[in-house]
Amino acid sequence: MNKKLVAAALGLAFAAPVFADSSNVTLYGRVHQAIEHNTTDVNGANSSGNGTNIADYSSRLGVRGVEDLGGGLSAIFAYEFGVDTDAVNTGATNMNTRHAYLGLKGSYGTFVIGSQDGGNDSQAPLYNQASAYMFNVNNNAGQLTVVNGNDAVINRVQRVGNSLGYANTIAGVKVSARHALGGTDAASGAVPSTENDRRESSIAADYTIGALTFGGGYTRIEGSEAVENTPVTGFNALNSLKSQIQFGAKYNFGAFQLAGLIGQNKYYGTRNSDNEIAISGLLPLSANSGVQALYAQAENGRATTTAGVQGGNQETDNTQAQISYYYDFSKRTRTYVGFNRTNRDAFVAATGANIEADDDSFVVGLRHNF
């Protein structure tokens, strides 16, 4: 199925000149790979999985387009696939849908519907905002991730399906919003499939005045009483996420930039809330190179096991420290080197045990956009 979709996307892209009078269709993508050296120590002892490997970092292939409808109104669309450039295809596909949406853009703003994340015109309000207030060298992919995934301390929902998105700038305030309905397949019964069972609403706003940019965001996840209070699996597990709130700011001093983020996550059930902070800086060394540094902390953060989360009996304090250097050969090609350490200090109430784990990653990466 994915091969057919890719073929259709490629055909549409190459056919674009035929429709050049009224539309603009673009094929684009990214190839991003890195060499990693990862080590993990648990209570001072090396664990399994240490070593060096080559990894794909969120490579992708997509097609996007816009058509002028007149009167300042345009139709927009995009379909983007995640492509694992490091995988050996043994019959199973190594592709997945990142986002797929259709929408309208005009003086009133941008409205899109479909599967959405933080790419192109699709919306991921808190994820995009958190990324804007934390510096890193490789666009939130791989072991140097600072938002979501891997061992990142700051966690925000990025990609959801069945959603409506809106973005606009009103009186200088940049606003983005997203509302996601429950479920993905009404026939499967695997997850709720109606808006009454589960829904997720997010909004973020940012304002720039001179060298200062600041803003805040809020996400609320809710549903029926049965969903909110019954310990089932998946999105609706007891002690699953209930709400997120965050505030961020960054200031450009000219010689360098400094940014900070604070946030709190709340949960259904008995799990404690998470309090998160992050501070980061970006020091340009030349027009095409620079150094980034970050420190982040989550108090009572993610439990290290699913059972710990659902049982509400494990508290984890997470810290993340990172430094990296980048060099841009061009606007499209970047190489970088970086080091990340994530520490998880967990207390398991059921056993009274303390578990301290350090994950260290040394990364050399190369990324090319086309």
CA 291 from centre of chain: 22
| Section 331-360 average pLDDT | 84
pLDDT of residue 231: 47
Q: Which two tokens stand for residue 155?
A: 């966690």
Map tokens 């399906």 to a residue.
Answer: 161
For residue 29, name the pLDDT band (cuts at 50, 70, 90): very high
Task: Report the distance separating Cα 261 and Cα 278, nearest Å.
Answer: 5
Q: Rounded to the nearest 10 degrees, how much is the dihedral formed by the CA atoms of 326, 287, 126, 105? A: -130
pLDDT at 234 over 60: no
| Section 297-316 average pLDDT | 58
Which of 22-26, 65-69, 129-133, 156-160 comes out lowest in average pLDDT? 22-26
pLDDT at 172 over 60: yes
pLDDT of residue 37: 94
pLDDT digit string, tens, across residues 63-102: 999 999 999 999 999 999 998 887 665 555 567 888 999 9
Which of 12-21, 107-116, 180-189, 356-365 comes out lowest in average pLDDT? 12-21
Q: What mean pLDDT is reported for the chain?
A: 82
Note whether 338 and 363 are within 8 A (CB): yes
Q: Which residue has the higher pLDDT, 44 or 16?
A: 44
Q: Which residue has the higher pLDDT, 52 or 184?
A: 52
What phi, psi does 193 have (nearest 5°)? -120, 10
Which of 161-175, 245-259, 294-308 comes out lowest in average pLDDT? 294-308
Q: Is 148 helix (H, G, I), strand (E, B) or coil?
A: coil
pLDDT digit string, tens, across residues 186-233: 444 444 445 556 788 999 999 999 999 999 999 998 865 555 555 444
| Section 309-337 average pLDDT | 84
pLDDT digit string, tens, across residues 240-275: 778 999 999 999 999 999 999 999 998 876 667 889
Note whether 290 and 301 are within 8 A (CB): no
Which of 29-43, 102-116, 143-157 comes out lowest in average pLDDT? 143-157
Task: Report the distance separating Cα 137 and Cα 283, nearest Å.
Answer: 12
Quickly count: other Cβ atoms within 10 Å of residue 54's Cβ.
Answer: 10
Note whether 313 and 303 are within 8 A (CB): no
Quick one: what percent of the chain has pLDDT higher than 70? 74
Quickly count: other Cβ atoms within 10 Å of residue 364's Cβ.
Answer: 13
| Section 115-119 average pLDDT | 90
| Amino acid code (one letter) for 222 | E
Task: Report the distance separating Cα 296 and Cα 279, nearest Å.
Answer: 6
Q: Is 107 helix (H, G, I), strand (E, B) or coil?
A: coil
Task: Report the distance separating Cα 57 and Cα 60, nearest Å.
Answer: 9
pLDDT of residue 22: 56
The CB-side HSE value for 137 (13 A sphere, CA atoms) comes to: 33
Q: Which residue has the higher pLDDT, 150 or 165?
A: 165
Which of 24-28, 110-114, 231-235 comes out lowest in average pLDDT? 231-235
CA 42 from centre of chain: 27
pLDDT at 16 over 60: no
For residue 152, name the pLDDT band (cuts at 50, 70, 90): confident
pLDDT at 310 over 50: no
pLDDT at 301 over 70: no
According to the 3-state scheme, what is the secondary structure of the chain? CHHHHHHHHHHHHHCHHHHCCCEEEEEEEEEEEEEEEEEEEECCEECCCCEEEEEECCCEEEEEEEEEEECCEEEEEEEEEEECCCCCCCCCCCEEEEEEEEEEEECCEEEEEEEECCCCCCCCHHHHHHHHCCCCCCCCCHHHCCECCCCCCECCCCCEEEEEEEEEEECCEEEEEEEEECCCCCCCCCCCCCCCCEEEEEEEEEEEECCEEEEEEEEEEEECHHHHHCCCCHHHCCCCEEEEEEEEEEEECCCCEEEEEEEEEEECCCCCCEEEEEEEEEEEEECCEEEEEEEEEEEEECCCCHHHHHHCCEEEEEEEEEEEEEEECCCCEEEEEEEEEEEEEEEECCCCEEEEEEEEEEEEEEEEEC
| Section 293-307 average pLDDT | 71
pLDDT of residue 142: 86
Q: Which two tokens stand for residue 154?
A: 């700051």
Note whether 148 and 164 are within 8 A (CB): no
| Section 289-304 average pLDDT | 81
Which of 83-92, 175-184, 207-216, 340-349 comes out lowest in average pLDDT? 83-92
